[in-house]
Structure 1
Amino acid sequence: MMGSGGFGGDNHHTQPMAEINTTPMVDVMLVLLVIFIITAPLLTHSIKIDLPQAGSQSTPEKPDIVSLSINAEGKLFWNDAAFEDTELALRLEQEAQKQPQPELHIRAERVTPYQKLAEIMSAAQSAGIAKIGFITDPTQKK
């Protein structure tokens, strides 16, 4: 039978199968993984800590906004109410004394002379107004 090239020849020299069946091991590992996933959140909730108490501070009030408008003729409007140029310094000083100090928003027409704006800004600075802003309308294009 030496030369028979059949499939079932020479059975006495066959070695035992050396492979390990890993299916049971994978099953055990998956069961352990599920157990750890379920118990892990329980471990973190069981720690008791005495947390410090903190008092919350109230947020500071937003300051009022004073709108100062100037039309093309140089006429002044304080929060949309017309007033005389001679009253400007007094009104600015009164607003500068308030706590928190209001913001001064200046709205001027495009053709308003720069000199008029410079005078108003100088008067506001002399009165002690700290925050001055300019209001513009980005939709106007000419």
Structure 2
Amino acid sequence: MNLPSGRGRGRRAPMADINVTPLVDVMLVLLIIFMVTAPLLTAGVPVNLPDSRAKALDQEKQPIELSIDEQGRLFIDKDEVNEGDLPARLDAIANKAVGADQPPQIYLRADRGQNYGRVANVMGELSRAGLTRIALVTNAGGEAADGGTAGR
């Protein structure tokens, strides 16, 4: 049997090593891209949230975000809702969750400049509809213990 030995005849033996450096470079770039873009995907309606020292909540399902912006406009997720349409929309959300073991989690995001009575009215509508799992969203890690006026 005449096997090529790789010596003297000009043929090279195939290289059996894999160069992983380009793979690592690409993966690190992708990791950085995802780390930068992930926080930008969470907020839908720009709201100036108050500061708080509370811990973040554990999450099992995607919550429903109810937002009140600086002008007092209401948003359910990213859809603007009129004041008169709010009870019907909340009833529809509650009716959709009738078969579930518990009502859906509601994240209430209100601009820090909003009147407390306005936020309380929205919370009353949530309670009336049977949506009682309400979490007030704030900026985590705030230093203010005086009602969230730090940084103004």
Deviation at 1:141, TM superposition (A): 2.4
Q: Whole-Å Cα distance in 1 between the matches of residues 137 and 151 of structure 2?
A: 15
* Secondary structure of the structure 1 residue equivalent to 2:139: coil
- Which segments of 5 or more consecutive residues in structure 1 lack a partner in the other structure? 1-61
- Hey, which bits of structure 1, 4+ residues long, moved more than 6 A? none
Q: Percent identity?
A: 26
Partner of 2:133: 131
Deviation at 1:63, TM superposition (A): 3.9
Partner of 1:75: 73
Deviation at 1:81, TM superposition (A): 1.6
- Which segments of 5 or more consecutive residues in structure 2 lack a partner in the other structure? 1-59, 143-149
Deviation string for 1:93-128 (max 9, x for gaps)?
122221252111110111011111011011111111
TM-score (norm 1): 0.52
Partner of 1:6: none
Q: Equivalent residues in 2 for 1:43-122 (5 A)?
A: 62-97=60-95, 98=97, 99=100, 100-122=102-124
TM-score (norm 2): 0.49
Larger Rg: 1
Higher relative contact order (CA 8 A, sep 6+): 2
Note if 1:141 corresponds to 2:151: yes
Structure ranking higher in helix proportion: 1
Q: Whole-Å Cα distance in 1 between the matches of residues 132 and 112 of structure 2?
A: 25
Deviation string for 1:23-61 (max 9, x for gaps)?
xxxxxxxxxxxxxxxxxxxxxxxxxxxxxxxxxxxxxxx
Moved more, 131-140 or 107-116: 131-140
Indicate if the aligned counterparts of 1:66 and 1:79 stay in contact, CA closer than 8 A. Answer: yes
Q: Whole-Å Cα distance in 2 between the matches of residues 92 and 83 of structure 1?
A: 11
Q: Whole-Å Cα distance in 2 between the matches of residues 85 and 127 of structure 1?
A: 15
Q: Whole-Å Cα distance in 2 between the matches of residues 76 and 118 of structure 1?
A: 13
* Secondary structure of the structure 1 residue equivalent to 2:70: coil
Deviation at 1:87, TM superposition (A): 1.2
* Secondary structure of the structure 1 residue equivalent to 2:120: helix
Q: Whole-Å Cα distance in 2 between the matches of residues 113 and 133 of structure 1?
A: 18
Deviation at 1:83, TM superposition (A): 1.6
